Structure 1
Amino acid sequence: MPLILQVPNEYGYVLVAASSSFLVNLVHFFLSAKARKASGLKYPIPYATEEQAAKDPKAYAFNCAQRAHGNFVENQTPFLGALLIAGLHYPTAAAGLGAAWVTARAAYAVGYAKRGPQGRIGGFLVSSLSDLALKGMALWTSVQFAMAAYA
């Protein structure tokens, strides 16, 4: 029997949270580009070497901005999946957690780029808790859909 999927009226909030994560990627782009220019490292060099970073604070700052951006890219896709699935049954809660994740990831980006690894801690904690909650909600939503298919 086919599954008919209706999105809740509040699902638009979920889409706003999802779309706003694209803006955080732009924040990362600008932070990395600014740090690259200041460091003098040319494309296609992805990171300063350990020796360069040890000698030059601007090269170290570039590495921090690049690593923050890489971490964001690693985490955005799983976040989006969890958000979009969880939002099918819990749209307002998912949107709220999505907004918290996006805000925390922006703080993570700026903190890491400006203060190094210690500057990312606050954003990391909030985004990790939000992400964990979204993944739990997504799993439960998926189980509910699977159980309904056999009802």
Structure 2
Amino acid sequence: MATIAIDPNYGYVLLAATSTFFMNFVHGANSGKYRKAAKVAYPAGYAPADRTDEAAQKFNCAQRSHANFIENQPTAVAAMLIGGLRFPLAAASLGATWTVFRYVYMVGYSSGGGDGKGRLKGMPFWIAQLGLIGLAGYTGLSLVMGW
């Protein structure tokens, strides 16, 4: 049976995972800033479709960016924690890269523009996320296979 000893470098994985929690707070503050500018009252999640002004557009983009973040964060963090058991420095590096590109994605998407193309600058987060998923899968497979 394979066993795993926690490498002291696993602390970097935990720090990278923690960075995503702070990034979630940044997303909330960003959405709040655009909500206030667009004068969209709670509990509305988005500005109504009949609002075509720039403030409403930017708020909707900021909200969608935040929603996309929270759709992907659980997968990224879980993969980071699992993959980091075997590959702590690689997982921490990919996790930190993921967080940085999620910030770039948020800033780009929130800039509005109507077509959402500002988010494309942050799309490399997908490469980091797929890398994390690969590390997690390999870690599981190696335990099962006894590698």
TM-score, structure 2 normalization: 0.93
- Work out whether residues 27 and 109 of structure 1, in 8 Å CA contact, stay in contact via their aligned partners in 2: no
CA drift at 1:4 = 4.7
Aligned sequence identity (%): 44
The corresponding residue for 1:57 is: 54
What pairs with 1:1-151 in structure 2 (closer than 5 Å)? 4-52=3-51, 54=52, 56-116=53-113, 117-124=116-123, 126-148=124-146
Aligned to 1:66, the other structure's residue is in SS state helix
CA contact (8 A) 2:3 2:143 kept: no
Unaligned runs of 5+ in 2: none
Moved over 6 A (4+): none
| TM-score (norm. length: structure 1) | 0.91
| Contact residue 17 and residue 95 of structure 2 kept, 8 A | yes
Q: Which has the higher helix share?
A: 1
For 1:34-79, what per-residue CA distance to the aligned partner results, in whole angstroms no more than 9, with x for missing partners? Answer: 0000011100000112211x2x110111100000000000000000
**How far apart, CA to CA, are the structure 2 residues paired with 1:97 and 1:33?**
28
Q: Indicate the SS of the match to 2:111.
A: helix
Deviations along 1:64-116, one digit per CA (max 9) or x if unpaired, are 00000000000000000110011011110111111100100011111111244
Amino acid at match of 2:59: F
Is the CA contact 1:65–1:109 (under 8 Å) kept in the aligned structure 2? yes
How far residue 141 of structure 1 moved from its aligned partner, in angstroms, is 0.5
Provide the C-alpha distance between the structure 2 equivalents of 1:115 and 1:23, rounded to a whole number of angstroms.
23
Deviations, residues 2-57 of structure 1 (Å, cap 9, x unaligned): x75421111001001000111111111111000000011100000112211x2x11
Instruction: Give, in whole Å, the separation in 2 of the partners of 1:73 and 1:84.
Output: 17
Is the Cα contact below 8 Å between 1:85 and 1:138 reproduced in 2?
yes
